[in-house]
Amino acid sequence: MSTSRLTERLDVRHPLQRLQSPSRGFSGLVHVLGLFDFYSCFKWLMNNPNKINKSYGWHLQYLTIIGLSLSTLSFSIGLLADMLNSPTLFTLKNYLSLTATPLECLISILYWGLRLISPSLVVPPDLPMLPVLIDFSFHLFPSLLLTLDTLLLSPPWPTSPVNPRAGLITLSVSTGLAFAYWFWIELCYRHNGWYPYPIFGLLSTGQRIALFAGSGGVMWAVGAGLRWAYKILNGIDEDGIGKNGSKDA
């Protein structure tokens, strides 16, 4: 394939993708802003150590930090795709966002929902509350940025053409992640003697299982909601035909 032909193919986006990505324009800006936010969160953890830093599992006991780590990986690959105009890296970023985006949305829903009920459910009594802007950086901005990336800078989930099993894939990933996290925090509890989120200590084993199963269901519902929002915003892809009538390559 000639260089000009290759360049032409890299410049073509899916007919339903709202904005050009990968690109060094808006797409690159979104990924840079996201990485700056994620970096500021990790830097804050390093500059403000507490008992979690020295405990088993470090801050990765928190679903928030697991989500930030996955989001950092996703946006790092996305930015590399922007800089190199790489369709391979762009596809990898899209698949990572299948988990990262609904996970970040789940974190925002659970954190702010529980905080509205009582901050003591999510913040241990011997730890201070986060400053407002830092709190947003951890628990709000990541979900907003990844949702923006998903709706405007990605092809239909998981990639083109639309996979008819996208809902089943998301449900499987969500349920698996929820119970993997349950096993992880129980392992940390055996070493530390306390849970990272106080709400876990208030629940019986059966109630914790129900909480994790319910969280997996919420994450699946978020994935379904994002796919619905994508269709409303960008149109519906049927058999590779875009809303502008062009055939998907």
Digits of tens for pLDDT over the chain (249 positions)?
A: 444 443 444 456 788 888 999 999 999 999 999 999 999 999 999 999 999 999 999 999 999 999 999 999 999 999 999 999 999 999 999 989 989 999 999 999 999 999 999 999 999 998 999 999 999 999 999 999 999 999 999 988 755 455 667 667 777 888 889 889 999 999 999 999 999 999 999 999 999 999 999 999 999 999 889 989 998 998 876 554 444 434 333
The predicted structure's pLDDT at residue 158: 59
The structure's pTM equals 0.88
Per-residue confidence (pLDDT) for residue 249, from 0 to 100: 32
Which pair of structure tokens corresponds to residue 131? 């400053």
6's tokens = 């290759």
Place of tokens 């690959």: 77
List 238's β-bridge partners, or say none: 241
DSSP state of 248: P
| Domain extents in the chain | 18-234
C-alpha distances in Å from residue 17, one per residue of 1, 192, 228, 242, 248: 25, 46, 14, 9, 11
For the record, the structure tokens of 192 come out as: 């530390």
Contacts 24+ apart (CB under 8 A), 174-179: 174/102, 174/216, 174/217, 174/219, 174/220, 174/223, 175/213, 175/216, 175/220, 177/99, 177/103, 177/216, 177/219, 178/212, 178/213, 178/215, 178/216, 178/219, 179/212, 179/213, 179/216
Interatomic CA distance for residues 43 and 31, integer angstroms: 18
Do the beta carbons of residue 222 and residue 191 sit within 8 Å? no
* Contacts for 220 with CB less than 8 Å, ≥ 6 apart: 102, 167, 170, 171, 174, 175
